[in-house]
Amino acid sequence: MSSITYGDLERALRELGSGVETAEAHGCLCGALCVQQGFAGAEWAAEVLPDHADESLVGPLIELLSSLRDETLAVLDGEDMDFQPMLPRDTDPLETRVSALAAWCSGFLYGLGRSGAPDRPSGDLDEILRDFSEIARAAAAAGEAGDEAERDYMELVEFVRASVLLAFAELTPQRARSAPAGGSQH
């Protein structure tokens, strides 16, 4: 579990005028980390910050992004399978959470593609990419709620969580090929 919260990242992105949703930014990070060993916090910042960002605020955000990047990579690469996509709290409206999950999947697909996703993914990875593409178009009907809707949402989140861990494991050879000479960069 990350020490940096959804709210922390949301505030930092908003302060700098980023048009990228918080969940989408984290999805982008996770997709990039699946295929690119040396994906650094500064590189991620370039993806999520506007060109006109206030330079005095960029440094602290890059530190936050670098910390979140390191924590996320450690969880993805760990044996505990504790990875969780960064999404709004369970107390937020279902419509908000579904929209964020869709944005997270969209960001993951972007991060994977911008970092060099394989041209011919394996069967499992290909299915994950197709499923994430479908989830990226998901939307909850206004006012939709109830136990069944909550259960469906939680099942989707669990599917995404497990799928990211599977994608990370399957893409280990590609990450190894992308590792910078001399070890990992931060």
Under a CB-based contact definition with an 8 Å cutoff, are residues 85 and 164 in contact? yes
Cα separation of 141 and 182, whole Å?
50
pLDDT the model gives residue 111: 93
Tokens of 36: 């690119």
Helix (H) and strand (E) counts in the chain: 8, 0
pLDDT band at 186 (very low <50, low <70, confident <90, very high): very low
Greater pLDDT, 173 or 25 = 25
Identity of the amino acid at 149:
A
Under a CB-based contact definition with an 8 Å cutoff, are residues 64 and 11 in contact? no
Q: What percent of the chain clears pLDDT 90, i.e. is strictly above it? A: 53
Distance of CA 93 to the CA centre of its chain: 21
Q: What percent of the chain clears pLDDT 70, i.e. is strictly above it? A: 85
pLDDT band at 98 (very low <50, low <70, confident <90, very high): very high
Per residue in 67-84, pLDDT (tens digit) is: 999 999 999 999 988 999
Per residue in 123-170, pLDDT (tens digit) is: 889 999 999 999 999 887 666 668 888 999 999 999 999 999 999 999
Under a CB-based contact definition with an 8 Å cutoff, are residues 31 and 109 in contact? yes
pLDDT band at 183 (very low <50, low <70, confident <90, very high): very low
Under a CB-based contact definition with an 8 Å cutoff, are residues 179 and 120 in contact? no
User: Across the chain, what does the average pLDDT equal?
Assistant: 86
- Structural domain boundaries in the chain: 6-178
pLDDT the model gives residue 147: 85
pLDDT band at 184 (very low <50, low <70, confident <90, very high): very low
Provide the 10 A C-beta neighbour count for residue 73: 18
6-178 topology per CATH: Four Helix Bundle (Hemerythrin (Met), subunit A) (1.20.120)
Cα separation of 155 and 148, whole Å?
10
DSSP state of 4: S
Q: Looking at the predicted structure, is the pLDDT value of residue 23 above 90?
A: yes
Distance of CA 147 to the CA centre of its chain: 27
Stretch among 36-40, 139-143, 152-156, 172-176 having the lowest mean pLDDT = 139-143
Provide the 10 A C-beta neighbour count for residue 41: 20
Cα separation of 59 and 42, whole Å?
9
